[in-house]
Structure formats: C-alpha cells, structure tokens
C-alpha cells in the first residue's frame, strides 16, 4: 500500500511523476516534428521550411499534451492554457500591448542615452507587408511553441509537485541555458534570458492560461526585430521597419546579441515582473478556473421552512386567555 502511495494520490499519478513523464514526451514530439518537417518540406523555400518546422512542432506538442491531459490528468487539452474561453482574447491583447511596450521602452532608452540611433528603412509597401506578415506568423508560432514547452504542461505539473517558486526557478534557468547555443551570447544575455522567464511564468500563474505570456513573448520579439531592427537573441532579422545603429556600451545595449544582453533590458524585465505580479487587471477567469481545477462544488442551499396553516385549536392556543 505504501508503495502505491508513492505513485498514486487521489486516484491519479502524482504530479511529480506526470512531470517526469512529460519531459521525454516533449523531446519525442520535437524529434518527430523535425523529421516530418524535413521530409514534407524538403522542396520548400528556406523561409517555408523554417515556418513549417515551427507549425509541425506546435502540432506535435499539442498532440503530446492531449495524450498527457487525457490519460493522466483526465482534463481537456484546454487546461494546458490555450483554451478559447473566458478572457483569452483580452489576455492575448494585453500581452501584445505589454510586450510591445517593454521592448519599445528599451529602444527609447537606448535612443535617449545616445547608445542607438533609429532611422526608417526605405522600401515599398509590398515589402513591408510581405516581411511583416511572414515574420508575424513565424515569430507568433515560435513564441507559442516556447511557451508550451517552458510554461506548459511540464512546468504546470512541476508547480503542482514542488510549488510555483521551484518550478519558476528551474524552468527559467532552463530557458536561459537553452539560449546558450545562440550566437554572440554573453553571461548577461544568459542571465537576462533566465530572468525574462520569471514574468512569463507569473503571467501564466496569474491567469492559468498561456495567452498573456504568448502575447508578451511574441510582441517583444516582433517589435524588437521587425519593428526596431535589433537582433533577436543573437539573430538578425532580414527586413525591418527601422534600421538600428547601436554604438553604445555593450553592457547597456547587449551589442550583437540584442537588448536581452544589456542592463537596460534587465531593468525593464524587473519592472514588468513587479507589475504582472501586482496588477489587479490580471486574474484567472471562471472558465479557466473550471478547466484547470475542476468545477467548484455547489454551496449547500439553506432549507426554506414554509409555514403551514395553523389549525383552529393551535391558533386559539396562541391567544392570551381572557380574564
């Protein structure tokens, strides 16, 4: 009996074992997606292969999480955080605006300090539209993939098992370490990439949905690369609205790695974390609460006592005796 309790609680596999099972499932999903994408998209353009690989990865991750939520959690796939219910569109919109504000603040600070200079690129409307839409699709799907991996099912089960603080620390650390393979990374870029995992995790924990962190993640990358023309975690964007000339202190700007490698981004990330943790505008919707935690038990209804008509004898007994 004691051995069973190590693995089972409340009729389900304990969260820590579900977390451990989810890790090889994620790895397998990404490997399968990569192989299928390589076969199917062998004759596609380089841009098509990149976007297609992200779409295959998204499909594989959702399929893996569908199996895990159905078999181990007995919950719908939407419980992972991408359900189209409740405040999803408001949270996504809030994330898009907040992520854009964060990176534009960094860019404005670089401009004000003389560390960077931005000029408008000269191009046709068709070029702006074509690159804008293409990068939008690619970066949005890529942000969704990363949020599913780092704030999705594995993170959620680890938070159930060890508590949110431990899950945030471990997955934020992993988020930063994964980016060590990016070009021009530094110790500060790694630290900032770990640090940015904290507000993204807080955004999930406050809403129990992934729409807010996906919006923040995507908007930061999109406006950083396509908007400002700055490197996105070490990778340059082929075309952007603005052309950036960065010549300031690399410790502030991040240099070739991009803003994530600079102290200006550190300050913005910390401020964003405080806001996301304290804002009263961010909360879990009733629909997501039901998906994640199950229906709330109905409160007992107080029994209503309906007075019956008094018999003539009872009515007379209540009257004061005449003297």
Tell me the pLDDT tens digit for each residue of 252-292: 999 999 999 999 999 999 999 999 999 999 999 999 999 99
| Alpha helices, H only, the chain | 2-7, 15-40, 46-68, 88-112, 125-150, 153-162, 164-178, 187-207, 211-222, 250-253, 263-278, 286-293, 312-317
Residue 297 confidence (pLDDT)? 67
Of residues 115, 125, 133, the one with CA closest to residue 258: 115
Tell me the pLDDT tens digit for each residue of 187-204: 999 999 999 999 999 999
Half-sphere exposure of 115 (CA within 13 A, CB side): 20
Half-sphere exposure of 277 (CA within 13 A, CB side): 11
Question: Mean pLDDT across the stretch 126-131?
Answer: 89
Give the model's confidence band at 185: pLDDT under 50 very low, under 70 low, under 90 confident, else very high.
very high
Residue 1 confidence (pLDDT)? 52
Give the lowest-confidence range in 13-22, 151-160, 295-304: 295-304
Q: Identify whether the C-beta of residue 57 lies closer than 8 Å to the C-beta of residue 30.
A: yes
Residue 298 confidence (pLDDT)? 58
Question: Mean pLDDT across the stretch 79-97?
Answer: 97
pLDDT exceeds 80 at position 306: no
Q: Residue 163 region, left (φ>0) first, then alpha (ψ -120 to 50), else beta?
A: left
- Measured distance CA(29)–CA(120) in Å, rounded: 41
Give the model's confidence band at 9: pLDDT under 50 very low, under 70 low, under 90 confident, else very high.
confident
pLDDT exceeds 80 at position 318: no
pLDDT exceeds 90 at position 294: no
pLDDT exceeds 60 at position 321: no
Residue 138 in tokens: 């690619």
**Which residues in 95-113 are b (16+ Cβ under 10 Å) and which e?**
bbebbbbbbbbbbebbeee
pLDDT exceeds 50 at position 311: no
The mean pLDDT of the chain is 91
126 CB burial (10 A radius; 0-12, 13-18, 19+): exposed
Question: Mean pLDDT across the stretch 1-21?
Answer: 88
Question: Mean pLDDT across the stretch 229-235?
Answer: 94
Of residues 108, 104, 124, the one with CA closest to residue 116: 108
How many angstroms separate the Cα of 211 from the Cα of each of 83, 92, 98, 153, 162? 9, 5, 12, 14, 24
183 CB burial (10 A radius; 0-12, 13-18, 19+): exposed
Question: Mean pLDDT across the stretch 73-101?
Answer: 97
Q: Identify whether the C-beta of residue 147 lies closer than 8 Å to the C-beta of residue 218.
A: no
pLDDT exceeds 70 at position 76: yes
pLDDT exceeds 50 at position 100: yes
How many angstroms separate the Cα of 124 from the Cα of each of 32, 230, 238, 265? 40, 21, 15, 32
pLDDT exceeds 50 at position 304: no
Question: Mean pLDDT across the stretch 13-42?
Answer: 95
Q: Look up tokens 């202190």; give the residue.
A: 249
Residue 59 confidence (pLDDT)? 97
Residue 184 in tokens: 């021009």
Question: Mean pLDDT across the stretch 41-64?
Answer: 93
Give the model's confidence band at 303: pLDDT under 50 very low, under 70 low, under 90 confident, else very high.
very low
């Amino acid at each position: 009996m004691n051995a069973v309790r190590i693995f089972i609680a409340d009729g389900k596999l304990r969260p820590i074992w579900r977390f451990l099972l989810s890790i090889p499932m994620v790895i397998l999903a990404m490997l399968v997606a990569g192989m299928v994408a390589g076969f199917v998209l062998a004759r596609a353009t380089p841009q098509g292969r990149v976007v297609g690989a992200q779409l295959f990865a998204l499909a594989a991750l959702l399929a893996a999480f569908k199996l895990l939520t159905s078999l181990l959690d007995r919950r719908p796939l939407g419980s992972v955080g991408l359900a189209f219910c409740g405040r999803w569109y408001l949270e996504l919109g809030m994330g898009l605006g907040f992520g854009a504000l964060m990176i534009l603040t960094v860019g404005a600070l670089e401009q004000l300090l003389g560390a960077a200079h931005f000029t408008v690129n000269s191009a046709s409307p068709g070029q702006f539209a074509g690159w804008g839409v293409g990068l939008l699709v690619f970066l949005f799907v890529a942000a969704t993939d990363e949020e599913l991996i780092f704030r999705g099912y594995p993170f959620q089960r680890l938070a159930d098992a060890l508590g949110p603080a431990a899950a945030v620390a471990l997955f934020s650390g992993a988020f930063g370490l994964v980016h060590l393979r990016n070009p021009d990374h530094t110790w500060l870029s790694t630290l900032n990439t770990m640090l940015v995992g904290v507000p993204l995790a807080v955004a999930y924990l406050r809403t129990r949905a992934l729409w807010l962190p996906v919006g923040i993640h995507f908007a930061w990358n999109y406006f950083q690369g396509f908007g400002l023309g700055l490197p996105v975690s070490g990778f340059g964007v082929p075309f952007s609205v603005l052309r950036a000339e960065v010549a300031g202190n690399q410790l502030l700007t991040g240099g070739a790695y991009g803003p994530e490698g600079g102290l200006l981004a550190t300050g913005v990330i910390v401020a964003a974390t405080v806001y996301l943790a304290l804002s009263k505008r961010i909360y879990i919707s009733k629909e997501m609460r039901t998906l994640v935690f199950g229906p709330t038990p109905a409160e007992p209804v107080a029994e209503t006592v309906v007075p019956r008509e008094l018999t003539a004898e009872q009515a007379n007994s209540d009257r004061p005796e005449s003297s």
